[in-house]
Structures are given as structure tokens and as C-alpha cells.
Chain A
Amino acid sequence: MTRKPWLAPLLSALFFALFVGAWYLATTASSGGAGAAPAMDPEYAALMGAQAQAGGQSAMPGPGEVAAKIWEHVSDPFYDRGTNDKGLGIQIAYSIARVLAGYLLAALVAIPLGFVIGMSPLVYKALDPFIQILKPISPLAWMPLALYTIKDSGISAIFVIFICSLWPMLVNTAFGVASVRREWLNVARTLEVSPLRKAFLVILPAAAPTILTGMRISIGIAWLVIVAAEMLVGGTGIGYFVWNEWNNLSITNIITAILLIGLVGMLLDHLLAWVARAISWRE
């Protein structure tokens, strides 16, 4: 494997070509053929009505059309022609801003609170039942409550991100802090290290890899949730864009947005992975 570093990328390219080829064939095949069935959802065909029946072409866009659309978006990502017609760049920027706001707020709460929980078995026992009940709640279930109490859809979306990023960071921080090696704490004790110095110079670096794992899980969940949250609250964001394009029946735009969501999600994950590598230590 190490002697043929080009093998994996070559295989990736091959898979991609196969996928695009299959996609092309499926969308250009005549609608009469049974082979085009996957692209011809009956409900969708009914919605498309005349066009689907009249044209021999599938309603599903082919790779060429999607590529053209992507190019269109890439060449002009930030146009703004009113509420329902903004560039993909603007929409994704709204989503990223909401995710970062909710995520950073959650980190600000979860990491100090996790520290306290991890350091004190008593606080851990006292808070454990609440965490156990709150953690499995789908973040979207909070949405109506948030809309009712906050009365602002944008802030409600941020709140939903906050609540879904909170738990992995909280639980991981508490676990990381609680499992700091006894011997390092003993070193700190024999050196009469002050509590603050101990927290920042011993416990934090010792627990950092575990905390970062929680932060990485959180950013992944936040990015999953933002699309759904924006579909609900509307207005701006990539989630709203997808929903809006569904109403416009623009499948090319939806596919373009889906790709973009995946791409940004990957970048966020890589960013956190990079930070995790930077602070990780090896024994």
C-alpha cells in the first residue's frame, strides 16, 4: 500500500467515474424503460405533471446539468435578489454563523460545567439524572418551546444548535476531567500547585484530547441539525435554501446544496481533527 500511494486516489476516481456514468445513463434513458425507474418517483412524476409525461427525458437532472448549476453558483456565490433568491455563498454563511454561535456558546457552558462535574463526584451524582433525561431529546423537539419563549426564529435556531452541541461536550469534558491520572494529580499535590494552576496546567491538558473528541462530535451533530432547523424556521440558511428549492422544484439546486452541505461538514470536521491532533499527547 505504501509503495503505491496513487492506487487509492486512482480507485476513488474510478468509483466517481462509474457513479457519474451510471447517473448519466439513468437520467438519459427513455422514460418508457424500466431501467429509469429509480429516478421516476411516481409522486414526483405526478407533481411534474405534463413535463414528465410529454418529454422522453427523465425529470431527474443529469450530471451535466448539475455541473453547469454548480459552476453557476461558484461563479456568483454572493448575489442577493430578495428573500427567496440569495446566492449559495450567502446562505451557507448564515448557516455557518448560526452553527458557530450556538456551538461556541455551548462550549462556553459545557467545558466549565463539565470541569465541575468531573472534579466533584457529588455534583456528578446530583446532575446525572438531568443529563440522562435531557441528552436523548432530539434538539428539534426544543424548537417550538424556543420559538414560544424567545420569539425570534434566528435566535431559536441558534438555541437549538446550542442545546444539541452541549451534551457531547459536557459529557466528554466531565469524563476526561474525572479520569485524569491520579499520579499527575499527586505530582501537583506534592508541588503544592494552586487549584487554578492545577486546573489549567494539569487537568486541562490531560483531559484535552477527550474534550476535543466531544467537541468534534458536537460540531458534526450541530451541522446535521442546522439544516433541519433552518427548514423549520425559514428565512435564510442552507437548510431554508434546500426547502425553498424543493418548493421551486429545482432538483439541480437541491443537489448542489447537498454537495455543499457535505463539503462544509467535512471541512468543519477536519478543522476539529486538526486541533485535536495539535493538542493530543502520546505516552
Chain B
Amino acid sequence: MSAALAPVVPLKTQTRDPVEAAPPPSAGSSADKKGPITMSTQPFLKVEGLKRQFPQPGSPDPAPVFEDVHFGIERGQFVCVLGHSGCGKTTILNILAGLDEASAGHVIMDGREVRGPSLDRGVVFQGHALMPWLSALKNVEFAVRSRHPDWSAKQVREHAVKYLELVHLGHALDKKPAELSGGMKQRVGIARAFSIEPKMLLLDEPFGALDALTRGSIQDELIGIVEATQQTVFMITHDVDEAILLADRIVLMTNGPRAKIAEIVVNPLARPRVRETLHQQPAFYTLRNHLVDFLVKRSREFQPGPGWDAKNPPLVHPGQSSQPA
């Protein structure tokens, strides 16, 4: 365990075993998870040895964008990936979605290997990816109809309306995407992804292009829906505060090429987290400083230390170790 104190991991690492349960973030929602997690050998989503190379003219073996990527996501967990632009976050998400193929490694979800896209995984795309010739309602209905081909038109409509109302768009059902603001478009994208009630949700920087105020209110809506549905979420972001607000686990990626998972940070702040009071909790700034420090410095300089194992990225608890004496 001495490796935990090596300069690459400045904060004390509590455990190296992602399978071992961390203290439950909130007594209510996760208490039931504690038992099964310690006993089960397979997390809900398991990523093993993932690597992606893009062919480059004139180079038979180009440097992979990332390699040796291993991590797991438990059922009901909200995991954020934090890393600089270009490190391969979108590529990883596309592989999880089944839209792209890994050069090596594999993804196993719920006991089955991911091969191609599936209704089991809902995707919110970086650009909203709404179809501009369809109204907000029709965009969501398109997804609902795909999920439930046997439903009547009325059932499909009611289901779609329900999810649009969840993101407070009940008043804009018949508006075309061109008539919606950026935030509203992203909300439709979220409603569309949730409406198929997937086993897992993948979000690619869904709020990247939004102003702070809009982002805040959609984040709150997202928290609400995730709490209500106990959805398992994998989300990409480059916003530290967003990761702290939303994630139970924060996966830190080093810069590419050959990006790796440096560590996985456990969010000590209890769920449900409330934006207004979050920064008053003592653990908040320790966590935030840890993440910012990673982004500005360690993501660039990261070198695997002697105790670092790509197959088991260290699980870090910044809030609990407090100031190392």
C-alpha cells in the first residue's frame, strides 16, 4: 500500500479494489446495494482492456487514442468521465453505445457483450441530434415507437408527453427544433433517451454548449429523473463542478494519445446533492481541488507508478483522507 503515497497519487488511497464497497453515499438508495456488490464478481457494466486506434495514412501501427482501459459501473451508479478534449471520451462512449468498435478489449453489460447499438442503452449526443423535420413530440415519439412497435398511437403519444413533461417541455410539444433554444433542444434529447427506459444511459457532454444558468436547471432536472428512475448513467464532461454535482464515481482520464484511466474518484458527498448547499460541505473543496489539480497538472504528467495497475485503477477518496499530515 505504500505506493498509494507515491507522488502520482497525492491523496491517500483508501482501497485499490473497486469491488469492495465504499461507504454508501446515501443510506436510502444504496444500502440495498452494499450486500450484492461485495459478493458479486461482475459489475453491471464491465469494460476490459479497451483500446482504439484510428488508421492513419503512412503509419501501419498508429498510436492508440487510449489503451488498457478497465473500469466497471454498478447498477444505479452515476459515473462521470473527466478528461481533456481529445483524450478519447467520445470514442469510449461510442464503443459503449455500440456505435464504434474497439481495436482491442470488450464491454460487457448485464452479462452480455456489447456488439452493436441496442435499445438497452439510451444515448444523449454531444450535439442534440434531433431530427429538424419533426416536432419535439414527434422526435420523442419516434424513439417510443421504436421501443414499443405494438403500442397504439395514443399510448405512444402519452408516453412521449410524460417524458417531455419531466423535462418541463409540456408547453413546447409541437415546436420544431429550430424554434427551440439550445437548452430546450438538449432537454428533448434527454427526454428521448429516457423515454425508451434503457438499462443504461450514455450522455456525451450534454450541457457543454449551454450557458451556466440553463445548464444548472437542466442538471437539476437530470438529478430529479435519475433519482426517480434509479437509472445507471455514464456521462462525459469536462466541467469539474458538474461531475461533483452529478457523479457517484468520477473516472479521471489522462491526456491522449495512449490515454489511460489514472484513477477513479469516489464522490463522498451524499446523494441527492443540492447545488445550492453543495459547496458548504467540508468535503466539497477537497474533492474539487483534487479534480482541478488532476486536470491542470496530473492529466498531462501522469506516469504509471509501481503500484498502479491498469486493470484495477486506484479508487480514491479525497474527502475522507482530509489533509495528509
Which residues of A are at the interface with B, using a C-beta cutoff of 8 A? 181, 183-184, 186-187, 189-193, 197, 201-202, 205-206, 208, 279, 281-283
Q: B89 contacts the other chain (Cβ, under 8 Å)?
A: no
Q: How far is the CB of B97 from chain A (nearest CB, A)?
A: 6
Stretch at the interface among B65-73, B123-131, B245-253: B123-131
In the docked arrangement, what's the CA distance between A136 and B119, Å? 47
Interface residues of B in 106-124 (CB under 8 A from A): 116-119, 121-123
Stretch at the interface among B75-83, B142-150, B160-168: B142-150
The 20 listed contacts between A and B (C-beta, < 8 Å) are A181-B129, A183-B127, A186-B99, A187-B123, A189-B98, A189-B99, A190-B98, A190-B99, A190-B122, A191-B119, A191-B142, A192-B118, A192-B146, A201-B142, A208-B133, A279-B133, A281-B133, A282-B132, A282-B178, A283-B178
Interface string of B80-98 (1 = CB under 8 A from A): 0000000000000000011
Interface string of B195-229 (1 = CB under 8 A from A): 01000000000000000000000000000000000
Q: Are the C-beta atoms of A184 and B146 separated by less than 8 Å?
A: no
Q: B258 contacts the other chain (Cβ, under 8 Å)?
A: no
In the docked arrangement, what's the CA distance between A192 and B121, Å? 11
CB-contact partner of B129 in A184, A192, A208, A281, under 8 A: A184
Given contacts A186-B125, A190-B121, A282-B178, contact A205 B133 (CB under 8 A): yes
In the docked arrangement, what's the CA distance between A187 and B146, Å? 11
Q: Are the C-beta atoms of B131 and A202 separated by less than 8 Å?
A: yes
In the bound complex, residues from chain B placing their C-beta under 8 Å from that of A279 are: 133
Known: A190-B98, A282-B176. 7 other contacts (CB 8 A): A181-B129, A187-B129, A187-B131, A190-B119, A191-B119, A192-B118, A192-B119
In the bound complex, residues from chain A placing their C-beta under 8 Å from that of B318 are: none
Interface residues of B in 164-187 (CB under 8 A from A): 176-178
In the docked arrangement, what's the CA distance between A201 and B146, Å? 12
Q: Are the C-beta atoms of A184 and B131 separated by less than 8 Å?
A: yes
Q: Are the C-beta atoms of B133 and A206 separated by less than 8 Å?
A: yes
Q: How far is the CB of B196 from chain A (nearest CB, A)?
A: 7
Who on chain B is nearest to A280 by CB? Answer: B133
Which of B99, B119, B146, B176 has the most chain A CB atoms inside 10 A of its CB?
Answer: B146
In the bound complex, residues from chain B placing their C-beta under 8 Å from that of A190 are: 97-99, 117-119, 121-123
Who on chain B is nearest to A193 by CB? Answer: B146
10 smallest CB-CB distances across A and B, nearest first, come from A281-B133, A191-B146, A183-B129, A282-B178, A189-B117, A190-B117, A281-B132, A205-B133, A190-B123, A283-B132
In the docked arrangement, what's the CA distance between A164 and B97, Å? 45
Interface string of B258-294 (1 = CB under 8 A from A): 0000000000000000000000000000000000000
Q: How far is the CB of B85 from chain A (nearest CB, A)?
A: 18
Who on chain B is nearest to A187 by CB? Answer: B129
In the docked arrangement, what's the CA distance between A206 and B125, Å? 18
Who on chain B is nearest to A204 by CB? Answer: B133
In the bound complex, residues from chain A placing their C-beta under 8 Å from that of B196 are: 191
Who on chain B is nearest to A184 by CB? Answer: B131
Given contacts A184-B131, A191-B146, contact A281 B178 (CB under 8 A): yes
In the bound complex, residues from chain A placing their C-beta under 8 Å from that of B125 are: 183, 186-187
Given contacts A192-B117, A282-B176, contact A186 B146 (CB under 8 A): no
In the docked arrangement, what's the CA distance between A58 and B177, Å? 63
Q: How far is the CB of A56 from chain B (nearest CB, A)?
A: 65
Q: How far is the CB of A151 from chain B (nearest CB, A)?
A: 46
In the docked arrangement, what's the CA distance between A208 and B176, Å? 17
In the bound complex, residues from chain B placing their C-beta under 8 Å from that of A186 are: 99, 117, 123, 125, 129
In the bound complex, residues from chain A placing their C-beta under 8 Å from that of B119 are: 190-192
In the bound complex, residues from chain B placing their C-beta under 8 Å from that of A208 are: 133
In the docked arrangement, what's the CA distance between A201 and B139, Å? 11
Q: How far is the CB of A238 from chain B (nearest CB, A)?
A: 38
In the docked arrangement, what's the CA distance between A206 and B133, Å? 8
Given contacts A186-B125, A283-B132, contact A191 B147 (CB under 8 A): yes
Q: How far is the CB of A183 from chain B (nearest CB, A)?
A: 4
Who on chain A is nearest to B118 by CB? Answer: A192
